[in-house]
């Protein structure tokens, strides 16, 4: 994994990342559902470690199932340092996939963040665990109330987006996006350039420049920007 | 697989099957979404052969992907005689998972039926293929418009229900239900008894008997029914 | 109950009834959800006999509950001749409120029709019972899978509309509408006039008359219609 | 408008059309909602004549509004021969945009079809009018119960798809699709070829040929098909 | 009502309560919709005082209806000290069931909290009233815009859960749950034990203990915990 | 535009405004979706400047489209001082209609606020721009990911409500409402009176007065209030 690209991307908003991916024809990269449990935190990035649930069935989704080899517990112990765990909860927000104890263990294992289109439970305890979380809500019931855990590091859907293990996840206050692995360098490089350009546009707007011709730029604006860019 | 149990279940409605499963505490067994493409056909039964989709991503879900080893084509060629294919389309009904050609091939391979919480495409051609289909709708676009196929014979969700490979699927005009494998004999035996009892109740109702005390039965009704039952 | 008004309303479409109620400021009279189980049947009318469900709770919604005094069975035995039973299923279409046996009993008791924003189960048997049904779907599971029955002849909601016992229900291929009791005569009288007018408009359209000035009518059209009306 | 292309497209399924548009990167071309009011009719094609509604507001959406210059009546009189009227009802299916009289007038004016993501009212009368209709449902209330008509031949959304006046609409049993005007010839030509190829594949499947290598074709299949194609 | 059990439950999270109810087979106890209007407040508990709405009908749901004997005003005056008012708004979040004045009166009457699957109005004034509120949103329109009040202390549904008068309601930052009356002592006792156990697990996790074998506990963990538990 | 009425309305809550409009039979005036991006700000008022989107189509909704004459950029430059921009995003909350740069330009142009039933992007930057925003969420992707901009100052729908250019918009913590232009003076005058009355009622409640007879007032209360009102 290119840590240089990661360092660049930490300064690129998820908004800009989606615009870069659109240049490659990818529109389905932002997950509907995951929102920061605590807004205003820093932007996080990491390779995806996927978790997959199917709906609950009363003979399968029981507290006893938590002790099976294929369990959320087993999955957590398999997470490498620095990953972002992405859990496919099928958008079900009436059962909390994880609570304070599992989040605390993930934090201990140096998991960067947890992203899900489902809910967390035990909001107070999850906040206390210090794990960064993007989720679709909070619900008191345990996962087995609505979900059966079936495996990790398989392809999943999350918030209407396909996520494959080791795809790159970036999350900030606008939510969470996925970058296919082979587009990482493109997105990092183009994204950083785009951020620079938008910062210049912002200062132009503050000076009172009109939008047409500025954003997107016409030839005259392009020239002015190039000049500014070259002076950096 | 117990073909004797299958023969019994062919005469047991999916409505009765859900009531038998409720006796075992299972409420989540009927799939929301799948409806018979042609109502009024016969009840069908078979072991589940599962198909799994995740959402489309423009770099993955392309017509070219249809030639990959992990493709719906590969899955169809792997289906044994007599299975019911159950496809997890995540309830997305804006892309048809299969059209006439794939259905025709499934029919050639003696697949009993196709059940999905998604849509089919090419309605006219699918009807012509002769494959029995339970689906949530019809949509012109191909699967890649909304879905990426990722594998077969994995645990899936379909219509809010967990389906594991080789679970038993029964489908009729009330839709499709799943019977966990280890409950097959219980459901078949109890279900057949229940059907017999309900047929007797129906004739009682036609004679003008009131519902309270009859359905469910009080002791007097139980005795009357036992007498009738013993005479069979 | 004015049977003369009923006889008039049997010839007035539910579409026209909603337009007459709009003249009195009532927009919320058509139930979203109930559709004829068998389209093409005759228009039916009757006073509402309401049935009320709340969501299932596992300690309450059990097969055993069917033997309690407050049960769907008890409700059916309390239905007078000619009523239309309207069941508030809160739009839940994953559990069938009634199956063939209960429908057969309602038919025996001369219930005119069953209207619900929920589902029926046992589609084949319900059709065989001969009871006219407007519902939102078909589902195999019994009511207790999703619903707890709590009483009859209380105010309910059905399909987003308030229904009070003895309000007038009319159902045809466009669905089911409610007429508040004190507007029955107004709707019947005005509705019949409106139907006559629309039948004349239809013949005008078939002659090639343009819509503006015809429908709604300008003064010239009003005069032409009055002349035609007077000759009847 | 190229009537030659129209004649070709009459033999190309909407399913195939969506696949041809996907080759041009267009995934959003099939309207979610419109279904044939009477399945099994012929495929229809025509340029789009758009109708636009916004939500009802009680001071605007009144029966009186039907007599205003900007009204559905005015729109119908402005429809040229052969168009397919496409109505943006914002997916609201609780108010019928048109009933029997307006449909009869459209039929008189040689409108090819009506497509909407909303509902029709007066189902029996609409069927009698003979107008071909694709809609999302049937509802008794008039349009003013939920909708305010605001204009025609403006860009609209219908079923999640952008429709511009004079875009090409094709509708069959799989629903309705839009073809951007400048892609008409491409879609017609490629679509016809694709239909021919799929018909050949279908016969191959009936002979027992496996799917991998056949559909999509490998080089050997391409050669076999080319040979067959050349003999036509 | 057992105030001892109440005192115990004040220290048991709603998350734990749902897990205890699952031991009794109850999965449907957490209400989807109600969220704390002000997160971070204390956990509240009380017997349910139910309020029931049906949809609005223009002839019934008027400002005048607020003066009727069966009105929200009448219901509020009937509320005993310490109850938690639970309002069934059918999940309609486009009309505020109560505003500042009614909340202020509830506070004066020592109502513990208001829980609803609908909306409140007058957010600023409701906060000023000091009443603890769990609701599904905020909306400016009055209840009569979408709802008709029909009675109090009847069985209701709220957020997909059945609530009977005097069931026990507990609400905290994870939302609101219902405890059936006859399970109160079980849930209080088991819940308190479970909280103790989870607090010990949390400290174990902080020491770096792995999850498998710890949570749920294997025999070795059970022994270690028993030892710790006995020393308290 | 009556600035006197505006000054009055700044002290009238949106809750009260909906009640005043209900007196005129208008129930559909509050937009479902728009919520303050930063709660607790001041109430804002202004004439509506409408923006209209249709769904994205891949050949139309491209970054290049931002340079077209009919673009969001063009619309912003056309906004007069003091308007409230209201954007019809069809409730699509997976694409941000505007980000920080466009909001900054709107702020420079003295736009009072932006109201939409869609999402914003670039949450951090939008907050920094200082523009007051009511929206339905935050999403990273640009508008072209889900939307095509088609024009300004046309009639639109927003959150289920019809908005015409120059209708009056008022927004506060309860959301955003529209006042038809010809009802502005009525709503302002009646609304101010109603606020005065409610403030008096609030103090009565704080004194311990019961609700029945007080709110709504009976004759005795009306007299007491009139006396208090006259002393002001």
B70 near A CB under 8 A: no
**Res. F116: pLDDT tops 90:** yes
Find which of D140, D142, D146, D148 to mutate to test the C interface (most C CBs within 10 Å of its CB). Answer: D140
Q: What is d(CA F77, CA D207) in angstroms, rounded to the nearest whole number?
A: 65
Q: What is d(CA E206, CA A107) in angstroms, rounded to the nearest whole number?
A: 10
Question: Average pLDDT in the B30-50 region?
Answer: 97
Between strands C161-163 and C35-36, the pairing is unpaired
SS (H, E, C) A67-118: HCCCCHHHHHHCCCCCCEEEEECCCCCCCECCCHHHHHHHHHCCCCEEEECC
Q: What is d(CA A141, CA A97) in angstroms, rounded to the nearest whole number?
A: 9
Closest CA to E12 of E225, E190, E181, E162: E190
Q: What is d(CA B201, CA B214) in angstroms, rounded to the nearest whole number?
A: 7
Task: Give the lowest-confidence range in B64-68, B145-149, E152-156.
Answer: B64-68
Q: What is d(CA D174, CA F34) in angstroms, rounded to the nearest whole number?
A: 36
Looking at residue E66, its pLDDT comes to 76
Q: What is d(CA E135, CA E138) in angstroms, rounded to the nearest whole number?
A: 8
Angle between helix E100-108 and helix F184-207 axes, rounded to 10 deg: 0
Contact criterion met (CB < 8 Å) for B27 and A58? yes
Contact criterion met (CB < 8 Å) for D140 and C215? no
Cβ pair F94, A195 in contact under 8 A: no
Q: Which residues in chain D touch residue C14, judged by CB atoms under 8 angstroms apart? A: 140
Q: What is d(CA E4, CA A104) in angstroms, rounded to the nearest whole number?
A: 32
Looking at residue F2, its pLDDT comes to 59
**Res. E68: pLDDT tops 90:** no
Q: What is d(CA A112, CA A99) in angstroms, rounded to the nearest whole number?
A: 17
A139 near E CB under 8 A: yes
Find which of C50, C59, C93 to mutate to test the E interface (most E CBs within 10 Å of its CB). Answer: C59
C-alpha distance from C201 to closest chain E C-alpha (Å): 30
Closest CA to B121 of B105, B97, B145: B97
E57 near C CB under 8 A: yes
Model confidence band, residue F63 (pLDDT cutoffs 50, 70, 90): confident
**Res. A114: pLDDT tops 90:** yes
Contact criterion met (CB < 8 Å) for B157 and A90? yes
C-alpha distance from F22 to closest chain D C-alpha (Å): 10
Q: What is the distance in angstroms between the CA of the first residue and the CA of the last residue of chain E?
A: 29
**Res. C62: pLDDT tops 90:** no
Contact criterion met (CB < 8 Å) for B30 and C94? yes
Mean pLDDT, all residues of chain B: 95
Looking at residue E185, its pLDDT comes to 96
Contact criterion met (CB < 8 Å) for D155 and F160? no
Q: Which residues in chain D touch residue B96, judged by CB atoms under 8 angstroms apart? A: 15, 174
Looking at residue A107, its pLDDT comes to 98
Q: Which residues in chain A touch residue F64, judged by CB atoms under 8 angstroms apart? A: 216
Looking at residue C2, its pLDDT comes to 59
Question: Average pLDDT in the B128-153 region?
Answer: 96
Enter the tokens of residue C198.
């629309």
C-alpha distance from F147 to closest chain D C-alpha (Å): 9
Looking at residue E62, its pLDDT comes to 78
Q: What is d(CA D204, CA D214) in angstroms, rounded to the nearest whole number?
A: 8
Phi, psi angle pair for E136, to nearest 5°: -95, 0
**Res. A1: pLDDT tops 60:** no
Looking at residue C3, its pLDDT comes to 81
Model confidence band, residue F60 (pLDDT cutoffs 50, 70, 90): confident
C-alpha distance from C78 to closest chain D C-alpha (Å): 31
Write the residue in E26, E27, E56 that is nearest to C162 by C-beta.
E56
Model confidence band, residue E2 (pLDDT cutoffs 50, 70, 90): low
Question: Average pLDDT in the F51-80 region?
Answer: 89
Q: What is d(CA B224, CA B108) in angstroms, rounded to the nearest whole number?
A: 50
D96-133: per-residue pLDDT in tens? Answer: 999 999 999 999 999 999 999 999 999 999 999 999 99
How many residues does this entry show for chain B? 232
Any idea which residue has 């056949």 for tokens? D214
Search chain D and give the residue with CA nearest B74.
Answer: D212
Looking at residue A2, its pLDDT comes to 59
Side-chain-facing half-sphere of C70: CA atoms under 13 Å = 13
Percent of chain D clearing pLDDT 90 (strictly above): 92
C-alpha distance from B211 to closest chain C C-alpha (Å): 6
For C212-220, which contacts have Cβ atoms below 8 Å and span 24 or more sequence positions?
C212/D67, C212/D71, C212/D73, C212/D74, C212/D77, C215/D66, C215/D73, C215/D101, C216/D63, C216/D64, C216/D66, C216/D67, C218/D67
Region for E85 from its dihedrals, namely left if φ exceeds 0, alpha if ψ lies in -120 to 50, beta otherwise? beta
Contact criterion met (CB < 8 Å) for F123 and A173? yes
Contact criterion met (CB < 8 Å) for B140 and D30? yes
DSSP-assigned beta bridge partners for residue C50: C86
**Strand, helix or coil for residue C214:** strand
Question: Average pLDDT in the C163-180 region?
Answer: 98
E217 near C CB under 8 A: no
**Strand, helix or coil for residue C178:** strand
Q: Which residues, including other chains, have CB under 8 Å from residue C91's CB and lie 6 or more apart? A: C33, C117, C118, C136, C159
C-alpha distance from B62 to closest chain D C-alpha (Å): 9
Cβ pair C147, C89 in contact under 8 A: yes
Looking at residue D3, its pLDDT comes to 81
Search chain C and give the residue with CA nearest B197.
Answer: C101
Model confidence band, residue C40 (pLDDT cutoffs 50, 70, 90): very high
Cβ pair F123, A15 in contact under 8 A: no
Closest CA to B72 of B92, B47, B41, B49: B49
| ipTM score | 0.94
Mean pLDDT, all residues of chain A: 95
Q: What is d(CA C170, CA C31) in angstroms, rounded to the nearest whole number?
A: 11
Contact criterion met (CB < 8 Å) for E140 and F211? no
Task: Give the lowest-confidence range in C205-214, E31-40, E64-73, E189-198.
Answer: E64-73
Closest CA to F109 of C6, E16, B79, A208: A208
Looking at residue C232, its pLDDT comes to 85
Closest CA to E190 of E16, E34, E43: E16
Cα A76 → chain centroid: 18
D63-99: per-residue pLDDT in tens? Answer: 777 778 889 999 999 999 999 999 999 999 999 999 9
Region for B122 from its dihedrals, namely left if φ exceeds 0, alpha if ψ lies in -120 to 50, beta otherwise? left
Helices (H), ranges, chain E: 3-9, 14-23, 72-77, 100-108, 123-129, 184-207, 219-231
Q: Which residues, including other chains, have CB under 8 Å from residue E187's CB and lie 6 or more apart? A: E9, E12, E17, E20, E21, E179
D55 near F CB under 8 A: yes
Q: Which residues in chain E touch residue F198, judged by CB atoms under 8 angstroms apart? A: 100-101
Contact criterion met (CB < 8 Å) for E140 and F218? no
C-alpha distance from C140 to closest chain D C-alpha (Å): 24
Dihedral sign, Cα of residue E105, residue E106, residue E109, residue E112:
negative
A203 near F CB under 8 A: no
C-alpha distance from C131 to closest chain B C-alpha (Å): 13
Enter the tokens of residue B2.
């117990």
Q: Judged by CB atoms within 8 Å, which residues 30-49 of F form the interface with E? A: 30, 32, 35, 39
Angle between helix C14-23 and helix C184-207 axes, rounded to 10 deg: 120
D4-50: per-residue pLDDT in tens? Answer: 999 999 999 999 999 999 999 999 999 999 999 999 999 999 999 99
Angle between helix B184-207 and helix B219-231 axes, rounded to 10 deg: 100
**Res. B1: pLDDT tops 70:** no
Q: What is d(CA E86, CA E16) in angstroms, rounded to the nearest whole number?
A: 21
Region for A27 from its dihedrals, namely left if φ exceeds 0, alpha if ψ lies in -120 to 50, beta otherwise? alpha
Question: Average pLDDT in the B192-197 region?
Answer: 96
**Res. B164: pLDDT tops 60:** yes
D155 near F CB under 8 A: yes
Contact criterion met (CB < 8 Å) for D57 and F160? no
Contact criterion met (CB < 8 Å) for B58 and A156? no
Model confidence band, residue E110 (pLDDT cutoffs 50, 70, 90): very high
Contact criterion met (CB < 8 Å) for C139 and B30? yes
Looking at residue B2, its pLDDT comes to 59
Helix (H) or strand (E) segment spanning residue C104? helix C100-108
Contact criterion met (CB < 8 Å) for C54 and E150? no
C142-152: per-residue pLDDT in tens? Answer: 999 999 999 99
Q: Which residues in chain B touch residue A183, judged by CB atoms under 8 angstroms apart? A: 59
Closest CA to D42 of D79, D16, D14, D20: D14
Give the number of beta-carbon pairs within 8 Å between E and F. 91
Enter the tokens of residue C196.
């006559």
Find which of A76, A100, A105 to mutate to test the E interface (most E CBs within 10 Å of its CB). Answer: A105
DSSP class per residue in E4-63: HHHHHHTTS-HHHHHHHHHHTT----BPSS-EESSTT---EEEEEEEEEEEE--TTTSSG
Q: What is the distance in angstroms between the CA of the first residue and the CA of the last residue of chain F?
A: 29
pTM of the model: 0.97
Q: Which residues, including other chains, have CB under 8 Å from residue A62's CB and lie 6 or more apart? A: A144
F28 near D CB under 8 A: yes
Mean pLDDT, all residues of chain C: 95
A66-100: per-residue pLDDT in tens? Answer: 778 889 999 999 999 999 999 999 999 999 999 99
């Amino acid at each position: 994994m290119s840590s240089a690209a990661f360092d660049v991307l930490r300064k690129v908003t998820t908004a800009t990342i989606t615009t870069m991916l659109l240049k490659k024809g990818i529109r389905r990269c932002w997950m509907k559902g995951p929102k920061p449990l605590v807004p205003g935190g820093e932007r996080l990035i990491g390779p995806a470690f996927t978790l997959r649930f199917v709906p609950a069935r009363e003979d399968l989704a029981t507290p006893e199932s938590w002790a099976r080899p294929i369990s959320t517990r087993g999955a957590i112990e398999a997470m490498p340092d620095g990953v972002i765990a992405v859990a496919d909860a099928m958008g079900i927000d009436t059962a909390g996939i994880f609570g304070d104890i599992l989040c605390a263990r993930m934090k201990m294992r140096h998991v960067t963040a947890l992203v899900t289109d489902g809910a967390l439970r035990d909001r107070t305890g999850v906040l206390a665990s210090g794990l960064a979380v993007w989720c679709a809500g909070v619900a008191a019931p345990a996962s087995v109330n609505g979900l059966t855990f079936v495996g990790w590091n398989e392809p999943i859907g999350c918030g209407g987006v396909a996520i494959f293990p080791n795809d790159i996840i970036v999350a900030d206050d606008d939510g969470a996006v996925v970058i296919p692995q082979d587009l990482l360098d493109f997105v990092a490089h183009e994204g950083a350039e785009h951020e620079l350009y938008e910062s210049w546009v912002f200062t132009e707007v503050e000076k009172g420049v009109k939008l047409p011709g500025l954003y997107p730029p016409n030839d005259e604006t392009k020239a002015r920007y190039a000049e500014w860019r070259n002076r950096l």
